[in-house]
Structure 1
Amino acid sequence: MNAEHAEQLWEQKDAPSSADGPHPWALLLAAGRGSRMAAATGGTSKQFLLWKNAPLYWHSALTFSRSGVVAGIVFVFPPDALARCEAEVRALDVRHPLGLPWKAVGGGVERDDSVRNGLAALPATVRHLLIHDAARPFVSARLVRAVRASLAEGAEAVIPALPVTDTIKMVEGDRVLSTLPRHQLAAVQTPQGFVRAALEAAHAARVAELAGGRARPVTDDAMLMEGAGHTVRVVPGEKTNCKITTVEDMALLSPPPFLQPRTGMGYDVHRYAPDPAAPKARPMKLGGVAIDKAPAVLAHSDGDVLLHALCDALLGCACLGDIGEHFPDADERFDNISSAVLLDQVLTRVRRAGVRPCHADMTIVAQRPRLAAHKEAIRANVARLLRLPPEAVNVKATTEERLGFTGREEGIKAYAVVSALFRPPVADDAGDAHVC
């Protein structure tokens, strides 16, 4: 539905109504120049930054259109870009239909001027309106409905607000003048709702004040209504209804990080030493726990077959190769080194790769020694080494019914499976700018 159709339609009949009153129109302010962020956006005003393949102002428009309580929208754009912006809205409306009539008008030098231009463009039958900053693209339909509901209940002006949690002080230069009563303070958001006739009268009074050179600074339309003696009602705001104001706020436009599941498998085997005093014979350790009355194992490191399998599983989650690549057995630095030290280094490398282990399941295969009495100690120590709760680690032990080299008591082997979450790097397109 284009602007011309909108004007014909809404001048011919009243705006839709429901049991609790007429539906308001939304006035979407997108005429600001965004000078504070110009260096970061290449001179593009923040309301035209692309987010999810659409300019910021369009996300608010879609939310208003999906709220079920808005009858139409007036877009207020920079006057020198009005024709291009109107053409863009028309194209966006084809791709993602608003399902509402809309108009586009040029703004003014100041915010007040833009609001007055928007008011003048409203169909004559509109009684209530919602005014919203286009740089708040995260507004919810719930909040739109809450503001509208308060208007329908008879309020002349409505603002969403959040309680202030910081201590606020009035300062002059580097000197504190006073501490303000925090329980009486609120951080105000948009959309703000108004009775049209009352707001137009408040704006007319401000124009007269400006002409007389006695007008005070005004930061929102609710302040005008306060000055005109109207009661401004408050509804709960939303923490997520942030305004893109500073360069740091642009991080909110980055794609949210998402986690990918990863699974790594590890396997290792060690031969039993024929003589505990033989070169490279190591007392048996499993999961960092010394196993008494067990065969010694032949190994370059301390021979902890379970931790070696666990290292390989972790490296598999991060696609970082295997333990032999990182700690070769020809390197004398690793002679008789604790496998717990190797595991800690592997964990560091895995975490740097964006992988967070969350579960480990391990199986030790040996004809001897019997390991039932050691499993809980192994489980607790592995959980400690992995920095996981014990309930996220499982240890199993089995024999191979006298089959194979383990069945012949020639050695021991272990399997490990690690589950992890991977946070892939994302392209930050928050700075991608767009001019309509």
Structure 2
Amino acid sequence: MKAGAFAVLTAAGSGTRLGCNGPKALVEVGGVPMLVRAAQGLAAAGVAGIIVTAPTEQLEFFSALFPNARTSGGVPVEVVAGSPASRQASVACGLAALPGFAERIGLAFGEDTPVLVHDAARCLTPPEMIARVVAAVEAGHNAVIPAIPVTDTLKEVGPRTQAGPREEVGSRTEEGLHKEVGPCEQVGPHTEADLLKEVGSRTEGTARQTQVSGAASLHAPLEVTETSVISVRPVVATPDRSRFASVQTPQGFTWQTLRRAHECAGERANSEKTAATDDAGLVEAMGEPVVVVDGDALALKITTAVDLALAELLVDSSLR
């Protein structure tokens, strides 16, 4: 990787779904906070500088995780306040700090500089995958996302209704995001699924359409009694899963592309209800092409206690 790539590392999110009271990025995996692990992965991939977006009230504590404002590998780190409004708003805070940060550490920063947006919750992301994203940006692609194949069957579902006693019901579902993007390069062999995008054959293409589908989630066992009323959703369609890919981070962009995408959609960032769930979505909204490179199952997003347990096992094994 060339020395000019920078990264915005989001770490302002809460750990509610993970079962902790504080910021999720401070939860340890294998004895190391997720934020520190994620920053080390970026450093190992050759990123020149890292902006961390943290909760406003904990900037000093987050900064203390990086003695001398550097990772253990010596890469400069600056911690700035994120936004409680949305992830999109927090990323915008990090982007606003990037030019000044680059100037202070004495590194060139221009319109074509590769900029990554990464999540601390994907702290096991292999450096090789990060380097692959940056290499694609340096090769001339203005927006690059890593993704892996979808292996679960996908169902498009309708509005929720109530099922009375004795009715057959399926497994519970929660909404997940699926995006249709243009044709892309071959996606790697891994299987972990988070954000999903529809992909085409192995030729160049552009991003266009969004649709919602269901994704299985884990819950405590559900006891059904004679008088139970259970919420159900009808199946509308079964899309061809080969057209979809599960998207990960870091996502990579040229500075001018990412800056313009956030400027064009700034009003969406005021609420999680309207904010983009990933930065590539903002580029898609401008009608600009987004391409896909191979992701990796190790780049799983740690959101629930089950995810955390899996991450701990991976750290303890030879896989990570």
**Which structure has greater helix proportion?**
1
- Whether 1:117 and 2:93 are equivalent positions in the alignment is yes
2:43 to 41, 49, 65: 65
Q: What amino acid does structure 2 have at the position aligned with 1:51?
A: V
Contact map agreement 1:36 1:246 (CA 8 A) in 2: yes
- Whether 1:87 and 2:64 are equivalent positions in the alignment is yes
How far 1:36 sits from its partner (Å)?
A: 1.6
- Whether 1:145 and 2:131 are equivalent positions in the alignment is yes
2:14 to 33, 42, 61: 33
- Whether 1:250 and 2:308 are equivalent positions in the alignment is yes
TM-score normalised over the length of structure 2: 0.67
Contact map agreement 1:61 1:98 (CA 8 A) in 2: no
**Alignment-derived partner of residue 217 in structure 2:** none
**Alignment-derived partner of residue 30 in structure 2:** 52
For 1:257 and 1:150, the matched residues in 2 are separated by 28
How far 1:47 sits from its partner (Å)?
A: 1.4
SS of equivalent residue, structure 1 residue 159? strand
Q: 1:54 to 1:210 in 2, by over 3 A?
A: closer
**Alignment-derived partner of residue 136 in structure 1:** 122
User: Gaps (5+ residues) in structure 1?
Assistant: 1-16, 260-436
Asked which structure has the greater CA Rg, the reply is 1
How far 1:23 sits from its partner (Å)?
A: 2.2
For 1:205 and 1:71, the matched residues in 2 are separated by 27
Q: What amino acid does structure 2 have at the position aligned with 1:60?
A: A
How far 1:90 sits from its partner (Å)?
A: 2.1
Q: What amino acid does structure 1 have at the position aligned with 2:301?
A: K
1:99 to 57, 74, 79: 74
How far 1:53 sits from its partner (Å)?
A: 2.8
How far 1:230 sits from its partner (Å)?
A: 1.1
SS of equivalent residue, structure 1 residue 36? coil
SS of equivalent residue, structure 2 residue 137? helix
**Alignment-derived partner of residue 78 in structure 1:** 55
Q: What amino acid does structure 2 have at the position aligned with 1:189?
A: Q
Q: What amino acid does structure 2 have at the position aligned with 1:169?
A: K
For 1:206 and 1:243, the matched residues in 2 are separated by 25
**Alignment-derived partner of residue 279 in structure 1:** none
Alignment deviations for residues 52-86 of structure 1 (CA, whole Å, 9 cap, x no partner): 33211111111111113x11111111111112211
- Whether 1:227 and 2:213 are equivalent positions in the alignment is no
Q: What amino acid does structure 1 have at the position aligned with 2:237?
A: S
Q: What amino acid does structure 1 have at the position aligned with 2:251?
A: Q
- Whether 1:188 and 2:163 are equivalent positions in the alignment is no
How far 1:253 sits from its partner (Å)?
A: 3.8
Superposition RMSD in Å:
2.4
Contact map agreement 2:30 2:315 (CA 8 A) in 1: no
Q: 1:33 to 1:82 in 2, by over 3 A?
A: same
How far 1:97 sits from its partner (Å)?
A: 2.2
For 1:87 and 1:233, the matched residues in 2 are separated by 37
For 2:16 and 2:282, the matched residues in 1 are separated by 25
For 1:219 and 1:255, the matched residues in 2 are separated by 28
Q: What amino acid does structure 2 have at the position aligned with 1:198?
A: T
Q: 1:87 to 1:249 in 2, by over 3 A?
A: same
SS of equivalent residue, structure 2 residue 298? coil
Structure having greater relative contact order (Cα 8 Å, sep ≥ 6): 2
Q: What amino acid does structure 2 have at the position aligned with 1:55?
A: P
Contact map agreement 1:161 1:188 (CA 8 A) in 2: yes
For 1:33 and 1:158, the matched residues in 2 are separated by 27
Give the number of equivalent residue pairs.
232
Contact map agreement 2:38 2:125 (CA 8 A) in 1: yes
